[in-house]
Amino acid sequence: MKKNKITLLCMIFVFVMTVNCTFAASNSTVTSKDWLDPSVPSFSKTYEKYFEHVGFAVEYGNFGNGWGTKQELYYDEVQKGLAKHANQITMGNEFKPQFVMAWWGNKPTVSGSFTASNGVTIKTPVLNGLQRIDDILAICKKNNLKMRGHTLGWHSQTEDGFFCKDYDKSKALVSRDEMEARLEWYIKTVLERVDNWEKKNNNGQHIIWAWDVFNEATPDGGSSWLRTDSKWYSVYKNGDFLVDAFKYANKYAPKDVKLVYNDYGGIYGTSVSDKHAKQLRVVDLILSHKDDATLPTRLDAMGLQSHHSVKNSAGAVEKEITDFLAKGIDVQITELDIGTWNSYDKEKDIVGVSGKQFNSLSDAYKAYFQVYIKNRKTASKHGVESITVWGLNDENTWLNMEYQKKWLGNCNQFPLLFTKPNSNKWVYYTKPAFYAVIEAAN
């Protein structure tokens, strides 16, 4: 009996080692496959034991003046891939103020009025992109996808006229009281549009489970902890626009929809950056008003964009996460990609840069996902509760835009989990980094 047990244990050991070695070897020599191939594991199902929401940023079709044509989410082939690999998406552009307003630099039609909580009555413009919201929500319902709403407030990609008298960008900025009223009206209009669609078309069940209430309020350098070059700051002269945004989001959003502050740049090299401290200060400001007697704020999570590179470190990622968890809120990884810098061999998945932290893109992805798993949210503690990879394929990554490439060695980047070898087809193929992420979960 004892001999049989020893034999059985030896057989199990050999089997386990064989499986592990085969998979480890495949991480560098893995065969790229169509993401819909039955042998390719599902990203979201692999991670459902750790995170409720996992997915990708996508585009639908930037139909404004000069903004391109129909893209990704518009096509059935891409929807099938998302239905397999994701249970949530984030729209790369379509839910940003510029696309919801869709004035494209023109003076909008003004057709209504609104009396705000501060007693100010304003004239209200037509938001031309609201139908696009409905169309995208319908696609999500069809494919059983949830969504992170991105974003209600931002200094960028917001029509200049929104801050000016008569919504005319050639005129002076409005007063703070009127800007506060406009902010409340905009947040109310967008949130109620989504809520009404969900009640009418989805039995009241939420498709949008979280909103980035405000995006990127901290500067990249300088002594100020807020962007002083934003029109929000120009009108308010301080950070109260953040407080207002979160109190109005709390007023109009369903209580079970998460409210998030979203920002980037919390890591520099292998440590947290000066910007990280500024973001902690933003969180402190918003939380300091959560017990206000009238119109309290609500902040449920910090959104860490996580535009990392192979030169960053897992230790810095964990430090960034745990500092926000210590504030008594959760963390959402909202825009993950990993810049490969220069001297990257995409065929061998090998990085060749001086001062590198990781030897390959796969190493970096695996290390970061291990940190996310270690610090995940549970029933008893705050933690990482969702992960969004910022893009579907290397060929369409924002990191290859000319203004962005300069930060990563002025060369092409390959920062994502899939590639699109045929530019004429909406078919994506797996990369070694994809299998590294799967391995981290297993």
Q: Which residue type, as a one-letter code, is found at position 341?
A: W
Query: Residue 142 to residues 18, 47, 135, 249, 424: CA-CA distances in angstroms?
Result: 41, 22, 11, 27, 25
C-alpha dihedral, 104 to 109 to 112 to 115, nearest 10°: 50
Query: Residue 23 to residues 18, 28, 202: CA-CA distances in angstroms?
Result: 9, 9, 41
CA 118: distance to chain centroid?
32
Is residue 398 within 8 A of residue 390, CB to CB? The reply is yes
How far apart are alpha carbons 433 and 348 in whole angstroms? 11
Is residue 429 within 8 A of residue 421, CB to CB? The reply is yes
The DSSP code sequence of 60-74 is -B--STT---B-GGG
Radius of gyration of the chain (CA): 23
How far apart are alpha carbons 17 and 21 in whole angstroms? 6
Q: Which residues lie below 8 Å from residue 264, measured CB to CB, with a gap of 6+?
A: 216, 305, 306, 307, 335
Q: Which residue type, as a one-letter code, is found at position 267?
A: I
Q: Any idea which residues carry the catalytic annotation?
A: 335
Other Cβ atoms less than 10 A from the Cβ of 22: the count is 9
